[in-house]
Amino acid sequence: MLQASSRALRNASFIRGNVSVNGLGRSAASLRWAHNTAPVGLAFEEIPAKDPSPDSKFPGPLVIVHGLFGSKQNWRSLAKRFHQTLHAPIYSLDLRNHGQSPHNEVMDYTSLANDIIEFCKEKSLKNINLLGHSLGGKAVMAAALSPDLPPEVLSKLIVVDMSPARGPISDEFKTYLKAMKEIEHKRVKSRKEADDVLQAYEPDVSVRQFLLTNLDRAPTGATPHQKFRIPLDILDKGIDGIGDFPYEPDHRKWEGKTLFVKGSKSKYINRRNIPIAKEYFPNMEMITLEAGHWVHAEQPVEFVNRVSEFILQP
Annotation marks residue 35 as catalytic: no
**Helix (H/G/I), strand (E/B), else coil: 256:** coil
Annotation marks residue 293 as catalytic: yes
Catalytic residue among 101, 134, 146, 163: 134
Gyration radius from the chain CA atoms? 19
Q: How far apart are CA 147 and CA 10, in angstroms?
A: 39
Catalytic residue among 98, 133, 293, 296: 293
Q: Pinpoint the alpha helices (H) of the chain.
A: 76-86, 109-122, 135-145, 171-185, 191-198, 205-212, 232-238, 274-280, 295-298, 300-312
Q: How far apart are CA 186 and CA 193, in angstroms?
A: 10
Q: How far apart are CA 195 and CA 212, in angstroms?
A: 8
- The DSSP bridge pattern shows strands 128-133 and 257-263 to be unpaired
Catalytic residue among 233, 240, 251, 264: 233
- Helices (runs of H) and strands (runs of E) counted in the chain: 10, 8
Q: How far apart are CA 167 and CA 189, in angstroms?
A: 37
Q: How far apart are CA 120 and CA 140, in angstroms?
A: 12
Active site residue ranges: 134, 233, 293
